[in-house]
């Protein structure tokens, strides 16, 4: 069973930028400080996920959620009715939202939930800030519902595993976007659609079936796309281009430049990716991006750069 000292140790680890595994009522989460780009990059590195999808922020209360998310009357209705519990709400970010751009994959919206699990709530209260947490499994493996599952897959990558026994729901949270009215179902999960619709007295949009298969969240999800033109694999910089650099060996260039990682560290590059893209997009019309190696987090970085380079053509 869980020891209180584990929870305090886990809160200290989060404050130090380290990763922890903790139980929620749905599945175990692999948590890091949601306001730290490096902690969030470490989450992606630990999972070995080839893509940066936006993560869910976990907080102890609706009040905390409102410090970085904008809650309309409809979003408040859902939060007040179903939190704490297995419901994640996607809401617009506040203007001064401190959550890492990598955690939201550069989007203007943020996914947040208040878990019902007692130890999760103690941990979130002890830490104080939002905790970004995907399920605590390696990419492509089943979501963990017991501490042993986490130990087997990620034991060497987390500082503390808070063991709260088997999870009660065993299925990820239901994700509802409050960016639309009526709200839309982005992912079916631990809270039934019918319960949400009964509480609201209206039908949710989305979650439609196509050829008998449900539309995946990926299809309903928006990707961050810069306004600027992005040229990939750049070995040289052309006139009028700003540079998104990687590593110590830079091409000749006198203008605007942001380096993802001067030392060529892929975790640091991931941590800086969205922040640098946003800065360059605000100041330049054309961006030359240096090649990034395809190993480790490089695969996810390149996936995201390719989407950013061709958003219109791909209709993403």
Is 120:58 a contact under the CB 8 Å cutoff?
Answer: yes
The site that binds Mg ion (CB under 5 A) totals a number of residues, namely 1
Helix (H, G, I), strand (E, B) or coil at 162: coil
Q: Using CB atoms, what's the residue nearest to Mg ion?
A: 135
Which two three-digit tokens encode residue 48?
Answer: 């070995």
The CA-CA-CA angle for residues 166, 84, 206, to 5°, reads 95
Give me the half-sphere count of Cα atoms (radius 13 Å) on the Cβ side of residue 311.
12
- Give the footprint of Mg ion on residues 133-162 (CB under 5 A): 135
CB of 127 to ligand TXA, least distance (A): 15
Q: Which does 270 bind (CB under 5 to 8 A by kind): Mg ion, ligand TXA, none?
A: none
Contacts of residue 179, Cβ cutoff 8 Å, sequence gap at least 6:
90, 91, 92, 109
How would DSSP label each residue in 89-136?
EEEEBPTT--S-TTTTTT-SEEEEE----HHHHHHHHHH-S-EE--BS
Instruction: Rank residues 26 and 153 by Cβ distance to ligand TXA and give the closer one.
Output: 26
Q: Which does 259 bind (CB under 5 to 8 A by kind): ligand TXA, Mg ion, none?
A: none
CB of 263 to ligand TXA, least distance (A): 29
Name the packing angle between helices 298-309 and 266-283 (round to 10°).
20
Instruction: Rank residues 103 and 234 by Cβ distance to ligand TXA and give the closer one.
Output: 103
CB of 90 to Mg ion, least distance (A): 16
Contacts of residue 210, Cβ cutoff 8 Å, sequence gap at least 6:
none
Instruction: Rank residues 97 and 110 by Cβ distance to Mg ion and give the closer one.
Output: 110
- Give the footprint of Mg ion on residues 96-135 (CB under 5 A): 135
> In the complex, which residues of this chain contact ligand TXA (CB under 6 A)?
24, 26-27, 29, 53-56, 88, 90, 104, 107, 109-111, 133-135, 172-173, 175, 186-187, 217, 221
Instruction: Rank residues 132 and 284 by Cβ distance to ligand TXA and give the closer one.
Output: 132
Instruction: Rank residues 36 and 88 by Cβ distance to ligand TXA and give the closer one.
Output: 88
Name the packing angle between helices 4-15 and 118-127 (round to 10°).
40
Instruction: Rank residues 135 and 272 by Cβ distance to Mg ion and give the closer one.
Output: 135
* Chain positions contacting Mg ion, by CB under 5 A: 135
């Amino acid at each position: 069973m869980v020891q209180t000292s584990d929870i305090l140790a886990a809160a200290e680890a989060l404050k130090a930028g380290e990763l922890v595994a903790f139980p929620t009522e749905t599945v175990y989460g692999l948590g890091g400080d949601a306001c730290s780009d490096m902690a969030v990059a470490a989450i992606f590195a630990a999972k070995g996920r080839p893509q940066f999808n936006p993560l869910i922020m976990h907080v102890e209360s609706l009040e905390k959620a409102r410090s970085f998310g904008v809650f309309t009357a409809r979003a408040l209705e859902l939060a007040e009715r179903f939190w704490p519990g297995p419901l994640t709400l996607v809401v617009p970010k506040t203007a001064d939202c401190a959550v890492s751009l990598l955690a939201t994959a550069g989007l203007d919206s943020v996914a947040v939930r208040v878990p019902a699990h007692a130890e999760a709530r103690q941990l979130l209260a002890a830490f104080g800030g939002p905790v970004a947490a995907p399920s605590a499994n390696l990419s492509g493996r089943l979501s963990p519902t017991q501490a042993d599952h986490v130990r087997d897959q990620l034991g060497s990558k987390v500082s503390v595993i808070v063991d709260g026994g088997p999870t009660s729901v065993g299925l990820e949270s239901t994700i509802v976007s409050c960016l639309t009215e009526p709200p839309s179902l982005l992912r079916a999960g631990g809270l039934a659609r019918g319960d949400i619709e009964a509480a609201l007295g209206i039908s949710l949009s989305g979650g439609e079936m196509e050829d008998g298969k449900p539309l995946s969240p990926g299809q309903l999800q928006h990707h961050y796309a810069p306004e600027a033109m992005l040229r990939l694999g750049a070995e040289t910089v052309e006139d009028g281009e700003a540079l998104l650099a990687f590593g110590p060996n830079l091409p000749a260039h006198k203008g605007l430049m942001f380096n993802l990682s001067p030392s060529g560290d892929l975790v640091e590059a991931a941590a800086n990716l969205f922040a640098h893209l946003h800065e360059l997009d605000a100041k330049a019309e054309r961006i030359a991006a240096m090649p990034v190696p395809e190993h480790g987090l490089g695969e996810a970085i390149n996936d995201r750069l390719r989407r950013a380079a061709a958003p219109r053509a791909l209709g993403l």
